[in-house]
A = this chain, B = another copy of it.
Amino acid sequence: MPELYFSEAIRQALEQALEHDPSVFLMGEDIGLYGGAFGITRGLSEKYGAERVRETPISENSVVGLAVGAAMTGLRPVVEIMFMDFILLAADQIINHAAKLHYIYDGQVRVPLVIRTPAGAGRGYGASHSQNLESLFLSVPGLKVVVPATPADAKGLLLASIRDPNPVLFVEPKALYGVKGEVPAEYYETPLGRARTARQGGDLTLIAYGGGVPLALRAAHDLAEGGLEAEVLDLRTLRPMDDETLLAAARKTGRCIVIEEGPLTGGVGAEVAARVVEGAFASLKAPVRRVAAKDSPIPSAMTLERAVMPSVADILAAADRLF
């Protein structure tokens, strides 16, 4: 199977979607010749033209709003928000419009819209270019939230998101763009709403998603050297969350750590912990622990950014407290 970078897997998904479905089109800032800030769309405007790879002015809220209108009337827009931080400008169109219209209009319309956006820190870009804001969107009824952790999932989940009849927030951990993995060449969809067991283990369960998954796997590796076998669950879709797989993984070991790159308070980990407690209380041998970023804006200096972001050491420390 061909090996692709995570970023290439996304580009391939976009290309196959454009090829496969004439109603798909892309919108975003600098996504044409320039190829987008992370080069994801490089080459696509040359192949599919400026109509279907539509560069926009810097107007995030209305760009998403236009996509909502286009999605309601027969197209499938895929919007790139250059950095997830900028999505806050479009919060109104996403939450008050895209996510609600299907329900409040009693099923008469659908809003098949994908918003792709790179998230996360690790590059010293500072507080306005480094956030993981997915937890803000977790509480929005009508919106799906997807975060891939491998190149193969990046492609399959993106294709499934584009075909989904709902608005989907597709979060791309930018730290993973440079990760390589096997990616089937043909068109395929990886179903939304299903978690993936990334590693088997019977002693404790590490629940992660996106950029947290490689951290969890590294921690699992270290734990194994100490004789503890960690199961690693990759949530993949945060909403709808795969309760069945999540609860089975939690019950299997009774000891859980939830890992995320966003800040601790009000994070995705809170929701996971609450679900695990509600659904697997009898099996729990220890409190569900959360490993996340510190509750501060993301600083730019490398020393500070590292201190604020969650680490393998944090996971190991949390694991220690489970036994």
Q: Which residues of A contact B (CB under 8 A)?
A: 61, 85-86, 88-89, 91-92, 95-96, 99-100, 103-104, 126-128, 133, 135-136, 138-142, 239, 241, 262-263, 265-271, 273-274, 277-279, 281, 284, 286-290, 295-297, 299-300
The answer to whether B142 touches A297, judged by C-beta atoms less than 8 angstroms apart, is yes
Most buried by B among A103, A135, A263, A296: A135
CA distance A50 to B103 in the complex (A): 41
With contact pairs A96-B85, A99-B297, A265-B138 given, residues A278 and B271 touching in the complex (Cβ less than 8 Å)? no
The answer to whether B139 touches A263, judged by C-beta atoms less than 8 angstroms apart, is yes
A288 contact from B263, B267, B274, Cβ within 8 A: B274
CA distance A284 to B277 in the complex (A): 11
The answer to whether B135 touches A139, judged by C-beta atoms less than 8 angstroms apart, is yes
In the complex, what residues of B have CB within 8 A of residue A278's CB?
A: 273, 287-290
In the complex, what residues of B have CB within 8 A of residue A296's CB?
A: 103, 141-142
CA distance A263 to B142 in the complex (A): 11
Query: Which chain B residue shows the least CB distance to A287?
Result: B281
The answer to whether B273 touches A265, judged by C-beta atoms less than 8 angstroms apart, is no
